[in-house]
Amino acid sequence: MTRPAGVLWDMDGTLLDSEKLWDVAVRELARAHGHEMTDEIRHALIGASGPNALRIMFTGLGIEPTPAALQAAGEFLERRVTELMTGPIPWRPGAVEALAMIRAAGVPTALVTNTKRSLTELALNTLGRSNFAVTVCGDEVPHGKPEPDVYLRAAELLGADPRDCVAVEDSVTGSAAAAAAGCAVLVVPCEIAVPAAPGLIFRESLVGLSMADLAAVCAAAEREPAARP
């Protein structure tokens, strides 16, 4: 394979510098429960689906995860992040140019995010809906990342084999999901470091990304068949 059949983009922390908005919301939520969010717990939330993130947060802070408390916390986060995402959201460096380059090359793209659909629609006002052939959100599949469901669904909608696609991710959770789906994985860390692992190719930023770079990611994945389903 000389070029990917599709490029599957994570959103928060990969295309958009939106993890900082989530940071505001989850720290406010912790304070509302009488706690200060530690960096360790905050880092564990990055890339997690909404339900998983709340469980991680409640457990880490010692808050009883009753159904009512979890529901209220989820509603708080959605309201607060909606407020924070109402205006333009900052892009990650090189993301605008990378999307344009891939579109110009005629390679199908998908947005693949753990963020729920209602919030993703707000982010798409910044991202541009025309940049993606399909979009898949964490609340549209049985299990969010780190399970592979969102990536498998995105590849299915593109009519592509996930093993012929490149996923672009910034987090440990997202990289694990993409690798479990069989994708070649390009990791561009944002808020936290991602440990090296078989099948993961790293890049400091999206600045200067080319089709040759994506082909190299595909080739590297093909050389490591044991790391892929």
**What would the pLDDT profile of 144-179 be if each residue is shown by its tens digit?**
999 999 999 999 999 999 999 999 999 999 999 999
Q: What is the predicted pLDDT for the residue at 1?
A: 52
What residue has token string 């339900």? 51
- 170: Cβ contacts below 8 Å, ≥ 6 apart: 10, 12, 13, 14, 47, 187, 188, 189, 190, 191, 194
* Cα 109 from Cα 84, distance rounded (Å): 26
Exposure of 106 by Cβ count < 10 A (0-12 exposed, 13-18 middle, 19+ buried)?
exposed
Question: 10, 149, 164, 170: which one is catalytic?
Answer: 10
Positive or negative: CA dihedral 59, 64, 68, 73:
negative
Decide if 12 is catalytic: yes
Q: What is the predicted pLDDT for the residue at 149?
A: 97
* Cα 157 from Cα 159, distance rounded (Å): 5
- The pTM (predicted TM-score) of the whole model is 0.84
Q: Are 108 and 5 in contact (CB under 8 A)?
A: yes
* Cα 201 from Cα 178, distance rounded (Å): 12
Strands (E) in the chain, as ranges, are: 6-9, 109-113, 134-137, 165-169, 184-187, 200-202
Q: Which stretches in the chain have pLDDT values below 50?
A: 225-229
Q: What is the predicted pLDDT for the residue at 217?
A: 94
Q: Are 33 and 62 in contact (CB under 8 A)?
A: no
Strands 109-113 and 184-187, how do they pair?
unpaired
Q: What is the predicted pLDDT for the residue at 28?
A: 92
Question: 12, 149, 164, 170: which one is catalytic?
Answer: 12
Q: What is the predicted pLDDT for the residue at 228?
A: 44
Q: What is the predicted pLDDT for the residue at 226?
A: 36
Q: What is the predicted pLDDT for the residue at 224?
A: 66
Residue positions counted in the chain: 229
